[in-house]
Amino acid sequence: MPRVTRESSRPPCSSPAPRSARRQRPSRSPGPWRRRPPQSRCNVPDYFPAFLDLRERRCLVVGGGEIGERKARELLACHARVTVVSPCLTPELQTLARTDRLVWRPRTFLRSDVRRCALVIAATGIPAVDTAVAAEARRRGVLVNAVDRPAQCDFIFGSILRRGELQIAVSTGGRSPALAREIRRRLEPMFGPEYAELVEQVGRERAHARLRASTAVRRLAAGETVVARALEDARPFARREVR
């Protein structure tokens, strides 16, 4: 069957239309997930604030110095199962190891140490070692924090104000830990030790109020009423502490 072609409406031997006269295709703007942040912020993470439940989870601290000690104690306070890898320990870490509060592996880091861990902290202060720890943790898909090396961190630590079960975390996204600490210090007089009992009291009253409420809307309202009443009672304490 002969091939049928459509004749062009352009006169023979005519030159193509100028580029400016051609029909321009509308530009396709990238979707919201394809847009990149401004160049000045490309290397600055926008951290997701979260509190992790590490009860009975295996956590590894590589480094037995003062920083490793502080991180190990924070993990123990969360009831994590802590292992410290280091040829030597601070006196406090030695005491924790002797009393079986944590596991001490008196040697240098091995890649197998990361196996089955939920969280890893590299705190040796030796760049090559901390880099190796972070690389192995990331290879295994384990959250890692390399102290003072934000580029090798999956998460960072904020400056924490604790009053019992009340925790207020202050972070500057790694830009100025000193500023985060100063803001936390200024918050301390506003939230004195009495807030530890306040949190427990609100928790008990909220549980009772929610049991009496018959619908989800009423349970929400009951919880908000308990909080408003408790904070009103706590104001004299806050004013007294700030003076």
Q: Which long-range contacts (CB under 8 A, 24 or more apart) does 122-131 make?
A: 122/62, 122/63, 122/146, 122/147, 122/149, 122/152, 123/61, 123/62, 123/63, 123/65, 123/67, 123/68, 123/71, 123/147, 124/62, 124/63, 124/65, 124/68, 124/86, 125/63, 125/65, 125/67, 129/62, 130/62
Domain annotation covers residue 52 = no
Residue 38 has pLDDT above 50, yes or no: no
Domain annotation covers residue 164 = yes
**What pLDDT digit, counting tens, does each position of 3-37 carry?**
444 444 443 333 344 444 445 444 444 433 334 34
pLDDT of residue 235: 59
- 118 in the same domain as 75: yes
- 129 in the same domain as 95: yes
Residue 80 has pLDDT above 80, yes or no: yes
* Mean pLDDT within 219-223: 84
- 182 in the same domain as 113: no
Domain annotation covers residue 41 = no
Residue 206 has pLDDT above 60, yes or no: yes
Choose the weakest-confidence range: 9-18, 149-158, 190-199: 9-18
- 214 in the same domain as 145: no
In what helix (H) or strand (E) does residue 167 lie, and over which residues does it extend?
Answer: strand 166-170
Structurally, the chain folds into a number of domains equal to 3
pLDDT of residue 205: 87
pTM for the predicted model, two decimal places: 0.72
Choose the weakest-confidence range: 34-43, 71-80, 97-106, 182-191: 34-43
Domain annotation covers residue 120 = yes
* Mean pLDDT within 94-106: 97
Q: CATH number for the domain including 137?
A: 3.40.50.720
Q: For residue 67, give its domain range.
A: 58-156
Choose the weakest-confidence range: 29-38, 51-60, 100-109: 29-38
Domain annotation covers residue 3 = no
Domain annotation covers residue 230 = yes
- 205 in the same domain as 125: no
